[in-house]
Structure 1
Amino acid sequence: MAGEDTEWDQILRDKGILPAKEKEPEITEDELIAMVEKAVAAKYGDKPIEDRTLDELDELEDEEDERVLESYRRQRLAEMQALSSLEKYGTVTELSKPDYNREVTEASQSVYVVLHLYQNHIPACKLINGILDRIASNHRYVKFMRIRGDQCIENYPDRNCPTLLVYGEGDLKRNLVGIASLGGMGTTIDYVEKLLKDCGALKSLTTHGEDEDAEEQRRGFRISRATKQDDSDDDWD
């Protein structure tokens, strides 16, 4: 749901990148009525709300719609700014084994690190290298690296390549061993992105689900307004 924290949101808040989330107070029906009445009084004087025209009530509801949508826009802007401040990578970098602790384990305390163990002569590794190049350019806040499997782990079997190691919060979050775990030779960028999102490494600025939540929220206001208009029309009959 829009407005709910994900695990990645909480990480950003813990690091001080996102501000502490203020809990939105719940508004009771009586409080909402009082707010509307106050707005009516400020705009039209002390005329009782039940004596207002539909045009007057519609104008007030338009203002309330805008207030809710503006709150949603501010939240999305904060998330976008937080991610933009981390967008300093964008490529898949070759890793040397002596730098493993610094570049992977220690670095993963502040950013997610995706490490590809590969071999040049294996077609599946070439496929995953190409896919990771594209993903890295689209998610510049994630650190993508690669290293030959036997350079990283002595006698690492070729049959295990490609292998993806996903690090976050200083720990190994997920290991995906072999091309079968990555969707096979027919795998796609979207499929690998989904795997990385499922383990928390990737975060979309605006997901399809959030778009649906926002639209549902807007649609709820329209339905509410239409219901009020119908009720008012019945009163005039």
Structure 2
Amino acid sequence: MQDPNEDTEWNDILRKKGILPPKEVPNEDEGEEALALQQQSVVKSYESMTLEELEENEDEFSDEDEAAIEMYRQQRLAQWKASQLRNVFGELTEISGQDYVQEVNKAGEGIWVVLHLYKQGIPLCTLINQHLAELARKFPQTKFLRSISTTCIANYPDRNLPTLFVYHQGEMKAQLIGGLVFGGMSLKADELEWRLAEVGAVHSDLEENPRKQIQDQLMSSIRSSIPRRDSQSEDED
């Protein structure tokens, strides 16, 4: 049986004689709208793809889709790189002098490095290592390192310990040297966080210096303990 919708000479004759209805002419506007919707749906499906799926389906991209797909690919690649950068570190790592150039000076573009020079047997060094391990977990985008002082810098004097060096892209941005700078064994992790945030090594949520609160409380306590002279004694003076 012949299909009446086929575009054949016999069907043309039947149409002329009124046996078959006239052939429908497709509406160009409807056709363009349908094509646009189809392309839009395709682009949306690409937009929801992962970076790996975009690469797998690259051969199926049409010329019209290529620009949009490339844009999505670049956006997703940037997001992937950013996520990798944010989660590269996350722990306090021990290094030696041989690792110094590679781990510190060549840490990479945009990388902040906090290096603690320490020695075992110095209580404040031990305390700072504990705080840095906590901060390393809190700020995984920053590289936290520690090294026994004399393995990094020959004959480095113990009187300078603990020492913190802060680097950004291989350039030293800050140095904290000696126990007095850290405030001794009363040092808290959030105080150290504040010091690092001041130079930009971490992005802290602290709104003010925790050490300032302690100092204010101390000064208030001192003032309240000072005996006040009454008005009578003042008149006698």
107-116 vs 189-198, greater mean Cα deviation: 107-116
1:96 Cα deviation from its structure 2 partner: 1.6
Tell me the equivalent position of 2:152: 152
2:109 counterpart of 1:117: no
In the TM superposition, residue 82 of structure 1 has moved relative to its aligned partner by 4.5
Secondary structure in structure 1 of the residue aligned to 2:181: helix
Q: How does 1:67-216 map to 2 (within 5 A)?
A: 82=82, 85-107=85-107, 109-204=109-204
- Greater CA radius of gyration, 1 or 2? 2
Mapped to 2, the partners of 1:112 and 1:139 lie a distance apart of: 11
Find the aligned partners of 1:83 and 1:198 in 2 and give their Cα distance.
24
Mapped to 2, the partners of 1:170 and 1:193 lie a distance apart of 21
User: 3-state DSSP class of the match of 1:133?
Assistant: helix
1:115/1:164 contact within 8 Å kept:
yes
**TM-score, reference length from structure 1:** 0.51
Aligned residue-pair number: 130
Relative CO higher for 1 or 2, CA cutoff 8 Å, sep ≥ 6?
1
Shift, 1:108, TM fit: 5.1
Aligned AA for 2:141? Y
Identity %: 42
Amino acid at match of 1:197: A
Deviation at 1:207, TM superposition (A): 6.2
- Structure 1 unaligned blocks of 5 or more: 1-77, 210-237
Q: Is the 8 A contact 1:108 1:167 kept in 2?
A: no
3-state secondary structure, aligned to 2:184: coil
Provide the secondary structure at the position in 1 that maps to 2:167.
strand
Residue 231 of structure 2 is matched in structure 1 by none
Measured against aligned partners, the alpha-carbon deviations of 1:152-209 in whole angstroms (never above 9, x if no partner) come to 11111111111000000320000100122123210101100000000110013x6659
| 3-state DSSP of counterpart to 1:107 | coil
Structure 2 unmatched ranges of 5 or more: 1-77, 209-237
Amino acid at match of 1:122: I
Letter of the aligned partner of 2:88 in structure 1? K
TM-score, normalised to structure 2, is 0.51
Matches within 5 A, 1:42-61: none
**What residue identity is the alignment partner of 2:162?**
P
Relative distance call for 1:190 and 1:105 in structure 2 (3 A) is same
d(CA) in 2 for partners of 1:142 and 1:85? 9
Deviation per CA, 1:82-126: give whole Å up to 9, x if none.
477422211110112111111101105431000000000111100
Task: Provide, for residues 47-89 of structure 1, a one-character-per-residue CA deviation record: whole Å limited to 9, x for no partner.
Answer: xxxxxxxxxxxxxxxxxxxxxxxxxxxxxxx99x947742221
Moved over 2 A (4+): 81-85, 206-209
